[in-house]
Amino acid sequence: MRVFRFLPAFSLFLVVSSFAQSTPSQLAFNPDAIDKAIDPCVDFYQYACGTWLKSTEIPADQTEWVSFTELYERNLVTLHDILEKAAAGGEERSAIDKKIGDFYGACVDEKAAEAKGAAPLQPYLDRVNAAKDKGALIEAIAYVHVHGPNPLFNFYSNSDLHNAGEVIAYIDQGGLTLPDRDYYLKTDQRSLDLRKNYEQHVANMFELLGKSLNTTWDSKAKAAAVLKFETALAEASMDRVLRRNPESRNHPMTTKDLPDLTPNFQWTAFISDEHTPSFTKINVGNPDFFKKLAGIIEQTSLDDLKTYLTWRLLLRSASALPPLFVQENFQFFGKTLNGQQEIAPRWKRCVRATDRALGEALGQKFVEVAFSGPAKAKALQLVDEIEKSMKQDIETASWMSQATKQQAYAKLAAVSNKIGYPEQWRDYSSVIIKPDDYLGDEERAAAFEVRRNLNKIGNRVDKSEWGMTPPTVNAYYSPPQNNINFPAGILQPPFYNPKADDAVNLGAIGVVVGHELTHGFDDQGRKYDGAGNLQDWWTAEDTKSFEARAECVVNEYDQFSPVDGVKLKGKLTLGENAADNGGIHLAYMALMRDLAGKTIPNTKLDGLTPRQQFFLGFAQVWCENATDANSRVRAITDPHSPGQFRTNGVVQNMKEFQQAFGCQAGDPMVSVQACRVW
């Protein structure tokens, strides 16, 4: 998965078990989750998770509950403890404690938010309202950009697609509030209803804002203007499936080309107002979007443009405003859109907010209590084993020519690994955090990140930087950096237990490592070379073979339906499905090498062989209950398949699984046309 600030990264794995009490050898799977009435060859997911699914409810403040959510919740408690102590301490606190403590303390102070009303937002709104014409509005757009809510489009820095060591400027489509362009464009009843709800929500927020600022305005008209403007942006946007192909986002230009795209947008003024280092090189993610943007700006009145900018500021600030705003925001985004029954307690929201705003300061404290040095060494050793498997996998790929294999080996050898946390912590000393100004704290922290990102333009890429904070329960592969990254948050039981058998860890974190490594060679990753450049290193024949194999995976997952009337998009989920299918093979190969060396006793646990335990461990990562609403949002936006299909979609392709459980031809878990990429 690629990670940067505009794309929420999300991808996970895990082995369930009551980790605190278990002995290491029991950690591979949770016998209590199994439904023994189900034949594993008929529905392996129901077999592995059936009892868990029936006995586990989605907590009211969640939209889904996956077996590994426990670990995430445990990390939240650890962070909560750190932050409560930091917030309570006096003047003798360390600089970091003061920063995170004051931020968190300001966030949890609901009474202060109530007393201030929307007044803290006023100076930001004034900047927007001061513009006398569309030309003067450029400064306001640049200003709102820096403060986080990305109006109209995205502007940021990233590594050059063709010279991965260098950071250049990017502009790309953006500016939407709903999770995908589809939400604005689809005409089925559910989509129409949702848009009506969204419009009402925007009107309600403007109504609250007007009351709080003692201003009267037509909130309904404002909401209609926002929806109309965002719908026009959605119409100009490229769809998510097309965007997965890095080539469709590859449009190197210079700043001189920008006026040709959007003649009525003053790019020179905008870039100057962003105070970036000077530059000429820029990649335009979707030139067509910027061409259409000219017409959209032309057709939208100055007042409506201001309304849209006000909406983006209001949206960004909702969590820092009085409880009525917070509730209204939750009613739409939590309840209506995702089916969440209750808002999470304020402390949880504030822990997450601190992680987002000052993640490497909070993370520094987190690793002190939750991550040990030996864990890092052992994790590196495991990664090494999985990389050995990948080499073996490439060697035995019958469909790949020697020429392409040589390139693949070179790319694999160039993969680097980052474990735990950054070697150099981010310095937040320039971010002013005031204990009584939560909205201001949020805005200043957001501006710090935007400035930090933009200031990289023209510099060399710093590969030591992390795209996730240390407590994050997740992992990622970065194609331009060709590295795999495992934050401390995921390197804990039950994902990873330094005291457990290798077999146990292979079934859990080993599959995660395999998944991330496979991303380097999935339909997106394979387009980058070992240096991280977008460059084709495949022979034409091998590309054809790869695509035919990938097509099999697309067709397989196209058939899966997570909720009535909804099918998965095989093309949207292809990269993740390929990584799931490949990752488990890599971990399994490492298990076989280990078993051959007899370092793992070949004993049965609960009547199950080590091979069966391995597959159970894998499946039980994915035991998952989700609201229907959440399943619908994810089917449109999430490149990952739901747990049920991450499990069954994989094992039905695997003869190693079928052998382990004695499945026969004709069983549902034995695919007639088994797919295999890696």
The answer to whether residues 48 and 644 touch, using CB atoms and an 8 Å cutoff, is no
Residue 300: which region, alpha, beta or left (left: phi > 0; alpha: psi -120 to 50)? beta
In the complex, what is the shortest distance from the CB of residue 574 to Zn ion, in angstroms, rounded to a whole number?
11
How far the first Cα of the chain sits from its last, in Å, is 17
CA distances to 119, 196, 304, 450 from 173, in Å: 31, 24, 20, 17
In the complex, what is the shortest distance from the CB of residue 56 to Zn ion, in angstroms, rounded to a whole number?
24
The answer to whether residues 427 and 455 touch, using CB atoms and an 8 Å cutoff, is no
Nearer to Zn ion, 76 or 579 (CB): 579
In the complex, what is the shortest distance from the CB of residue 519 to Zn ion, in angstroms, rounded to a whole number?
6
In the complex, what is the shortest distance from the CB of residue 472 to Zn ion, in angstroms, rounded to a whole number?
14
What is d(CA 194, CA 636) in angstroms, rounded to the nearest whole number? Answer: 14
Nearer to Zn ion, 364 or 581 (CB): 581
Residue corresponding to tokens 């513009």: 131
In the complex, what is the shortest distance from the CB of residue 646 to Zn ion, in angstroms, rounded to a whole number?
10
| Phi and psi, residue 433, nearest 5° | -115, 125
The first and second tokens of residue 377, run together, are 């060494």
What is d(CA 311, CA 309) in angstroms, rounded to the nearest whole number? Answer: 5
In the complex, what is the shortest distance from the CB of residue 464 to Zn ion, in angstroms, rounded to a whole number?
22
Nearer to Zn ion, 514 or 617 (CB): 514
The first and second tokens of residue 387, run together, are 């990389």
Nearest position to Zn ion, beta carbon: 11
Q: At what angle do helices 373-395 and 574-596 cross, to 10 degrees?
A: 100
Bridge partners (DSSP) of residue 624 are: 66
Nearer to Zn ion, 305 or 517 (CB): 517
Q: Provide the CA 200 distance to its chain's centre, in angstroms.
A: 28
The first and second tokens of residue 36, run together, are 């023994």
Nearer to Zn ion, 219 or 573 (CB): 573
What is d(CA 366, CA 355) in angstroms, rounded to the nearest whole number? Answer: 11
Nearer to Zn ion, 147 or 640 (CB): 640
In the complex, what is the shortest distance from the CB of residue 234 to Zn ion, in angstroms, rounded to a whole number?
26
Whether 298 is catalytic: no
SS (H, E, C) 588-655: HHHHHHHHHCCCCCCCCECCECHHHHHHHHHHHCCCEEECHHHHHHHHHHCCCCCHHHHHHHHHCCCH
Three-class DSSP category at 51: helix
Nearer to Zn ion, 1 or 320 (CB): 1
In the complex, what is the shortest distance from the CB of residue 12 to Zn ion, in angstroms, rounded to a whole number?
9
Q: Tell me, what DSSP letter sits at residue 483?
A: E
Whether 516 is catalytic: yes
User: CB burial class (10 A; 0-12, 13-18, 19+) of residue 336?
Assistant: middle
Catalytic member of 576, 580, 594, 638: 580
What is d(CA 645, CA 652) in angstroms, rounded to the nearest whole number? Answer: 10
Catalytic member of 387, 437, 516, 556: 516
Other CB atoms within 10 A of residue 471 CB: 26
Residue corresponding to tokens 């997911």: 45
Residues 6+ apart with CB under 8 A from 600: 501, 502, 503, 591, 594, 610
Nearer to Zn ion, 117 or 583 (CB): 583
Three-class DSSP category at 469: coil
Residues that bind Zn ion (CB under 5 A): 1, 11, 576, 579
Nearer to Zn ion, 511 or 579 (CB): 579
Nearer to Zn ion, 131 or 412 (CB): 412
Three-class DSSP category at 66: strand
In the complex, what is the shortest distance from the CB of residue 431 to Zn ion, in angstroms, rounded to a whole number?
31
In the complex, what is the shortest distance from the CB of residue 576 to Zn ion, in angstroms, rounded to a whole number?
5
The answer to whether residues 668 and 42 touch, using CB atoms and an 8 Å cutoff, is yes
Q: At what angle do helices 219-236 and 189-212 cross, to 10 degrees?
A: 130
What is d(CA 107, CA 334) in angstroms, rounded to the nearest whole number? Answer: 19
What is d(CA 476, CA 419) in angstroms, rounded to the nearest whole number? Answer: 11
User: Active-site residue numbers?
Assistant: 516, 580
